[in-house]
Amino acid sequence: MKFYTKQHQYTCGIDLHARSLYVCILDESGKPVVHKQIKASPEALLKVISPYRSDLAIGVECMFSWYWVADFCADNDIDFVLGHALYMKAIHGGKAKNDKIDAEKIARLLKGGMFPMAYVYPRQWRGTRDLMRRRMRLMRQRAELIAHIHNTLSQYNLPPNTDNLRYARHRENLRERFPDPSVQKSIDLDLNRIDFYDEQLGQLEWYLKQTAKTVDKHAIIRLKSIPGLGDILSLVILYEIHSIDRFERVQDFVSYCRLVKCKRESAGKTYGTGGAKIGNAHLRWAFGEAAVLFLRGNPAAQQWLAKKAQKHNKAKALTILAHKLGRAVFYMLKRQTLFDQDKFLATS
């Protein structure tokens, strides 16, 4: 975890909300010179900070409305620091909590060099990254509908469906398998929503593939050199990483991807692991998906997994594979090389 240690004449902590901001500005001696609630707008914020802009840093906690504050600071040449929400929760906990207290704590953490930093994602990439995250949510909702159809077949003790319901042709005569009209209506609801999702997701994926032409084409080609990775999954990984240069070591990268567990130790004793929610959940999903797709139609990879499963178990073996793929992606992007499966499977 990195902390912001640069010193400024004035330090501003903002407790963010959708419609309001609570602003606390400390001077060089740590005395509050501003402590007030304002409207959440660039004009109101600029009016409050104008007397202190000569040497000012603004710190906010990472929550859904930080985008516009980061853009405001970039446009006005003001140092902006984004705080890691989970680390800040551990640092500035207290008995009493309100907007005024939170704003001052943020300011004092920033001034004291104890402000845990999160990555400020560039504005020109944010919209597409968020659109990809939206797509993942729609895909999960579609998968829930398909799972509900399978569960309904089991509920009425009907033969399981052997066809892949992701294809529309396999869903055509599905409702006739249920004699009850009400159950048929329930299945119709599922099928109609799946058809709607198919149409929307098809249009969305076409748009995202066009977007791929405007980003780093060489990085996309490198990622697609991994067996099983297509356009969309490669774009998800690329957009969630943004720049591999922000990670100095491979350990930092796989930790950010939630591909490793962190020990909790004290006085020479180990108390298990923790920090499971610290990192990028979307990259964790992406590498888990990449591990499954890497095995599809890949006998050499399947043989490697079988050996790992004998030593551990299948679930643990898949986790190890996802971790290895994460490390491989780090070095591929750092060294600008393609994926070498023989070398990948040969290493322990």
The whole-angstrom separation of Cα 342 and Cα 147 is 37
pLDDT of residue 276: 77
Distance CA 35, CA 46 (A): 15
pLDDT for residue 259: 95
User: β-strand 10-16 against 269-274: which pairing, if any?
Assistant: unpaired
Name the phi and psi angles at 182, rounded to 5: -70, -35
H/E segment holding residue 105: helix 99-111
As beta bridge partners, residue 61 has 83
Tokens of 259: 């591909």
Q: What does pTM read for this prediction?
A: 0.89
* Rounded-to-integer distance, Cα 101 and Cα 114, Å: 17
Provide the pLDDT for residue 167.
87
Phi, psi of 274 (to 5 degrees): -160, -175
> Can you tell me the distance from the alpha carbon of 70 to that of 25, in angstroms, rounded to the nearest whole number?
17
Q: Please state, as a whole number, how many other Cβ atoms lie within 10 Å of the Cβ of residue 261.
A: 13
SS3 for 300-346 is: HHHHHHHHHHHHCCHHHHHHHHHHHHHHHHHHHHHHCCCCCHHHHHH
The amino acid present at 235, given as its one-letter code, is: L
Neighbour count for residue 101 (Cβ, 10 Å): 16
d(CA 214, CA 206): 14
324 to 139, 146, 218, 287, 329: CA distances (angstroms) = 26, 31, 21, 9, 9
Q: Which amino acid is at 1?
A: M
Token pair 């159809």: residue = 149
pLDDT on residue 92: 64
* pLDDT at residue 146, as a whole number: 94
Q: Can you name the residues that pair with 273 across neighbouring β-strands?
A: 263
Backbone angles phi, psi at 266, to 5 degrees: -160, 130
List, in sequence order, every residue forming a beta bridge with 115; answer none if it has no partner. Answer: 4
Residues counted in the chain: 348
DSSP letter string over 69-120? HHHHHHHTT-EEEEEPHHHHHHHS--S---HHHHHHHHHHHHHTT-EEB---
For the chain, 348 residues long, the average pLDDT of each consecutive 10-residue run is: 92 95 96 96 97 96 93 97 86 77 93 94 93 95 95 92 85 89 95 95 93 82 95 94 95 95 82 82 96 96 95 94 97 96 86
